[in-house]
């Protein structure tokens, strides 16, 4: 037996592979004469005659503020290094990386430390979070003198903010 014969359960294959066509559609004849529809109900207003008394609305409670973490001094030095695609900013709020269309902010209370080094023509800055995750941003300097200036300035700015934190 072939596979076609096994599917149709017999020794003969169905002609054309799909069997005979279905019968043509014929609408059913009505069983009896149509019944007249019941008269529509009289109109009733959807608005009640007198509105129900309004329930008093309790005032929305103000959530308590989050526990404050040690905050960096409100004023302090800032650092900015950028190339055509990437940028690093360090200031009173924390560390900001931008890489193309992506950006990440790391507030000081979430940072364990921030490290940097020069690598060729690049300034490489790594933000280490309290949970151990590390995020890095690289900024290309056009001149080696600019890279040396960045390293000097960034060292002083990081010293200011990291030394102000309590351990």
Class of domain 79-163: mainly beta
The Cα diameter of the chain in Å comes to 100
pLDDT for res 75:
81
Percent of the chain's residues with pLDDT above 70 = 61
Average pLDDT rounded to a whole number, residues 17-45 = 67
**Does residue 130 surpass a pLDDT of 50?**
yes
Domain boundaries, the chain: 79-163
Arithmetic mean of pLDDT over the chain: 80
The residue among 98, 79, 90 whose CA lies nearest residue 138 is 98
User: Model confidence over 7-27: pLDDT tens digits?
Assistant: 444 555 555 567 787 788 777
Contact in structure between 100 and 77 (CB atoms under 8 Å): no
Cα-based distances in Å from 71 to 68, 89, 107, 108, 163:
8, 18, 9, 7, 12
In this prediction the pTM is 0.56
Burial (CB count within 10 angstroms: exposed 0-12, middle 13-18, buried 19+), residue 153: middle
């Amino acid at each position: 037996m072939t596979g076609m014969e096994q599917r149709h359960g017999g020794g003969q294959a169905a002609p054309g592979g799909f069997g005979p066509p279905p019968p043509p559609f014929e609408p059913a004849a009505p069983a009896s004469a149509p019944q007249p529809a019941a008269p529509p109900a009289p109109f009733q207003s959807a608005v009640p005659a007198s509105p129900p008394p309004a329930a008093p609305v309790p005032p929305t409670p103000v959530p308590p503020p989050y526990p404050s973490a040690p905050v960096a001094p409100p004023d302090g030095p800032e650092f900015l290094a950028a190339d055509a695609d990437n940028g690093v900013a360090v200031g009173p709020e924390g560390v900001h990386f931008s890489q193309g269309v992506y950006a990440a902010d790391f507030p000081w209370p979430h940072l364990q430390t921030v490290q940097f080094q020069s690598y060729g023509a690049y300034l490489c800055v790594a933000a280490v979070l309290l949970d151990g995750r590390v995020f890095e941003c690289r900024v290309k300097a056009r001149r080696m003198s600019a890279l040396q200036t960045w390293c000097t300035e960034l060292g002083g700015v990081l010293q200011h903010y990291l030394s102000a934190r309590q351990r």
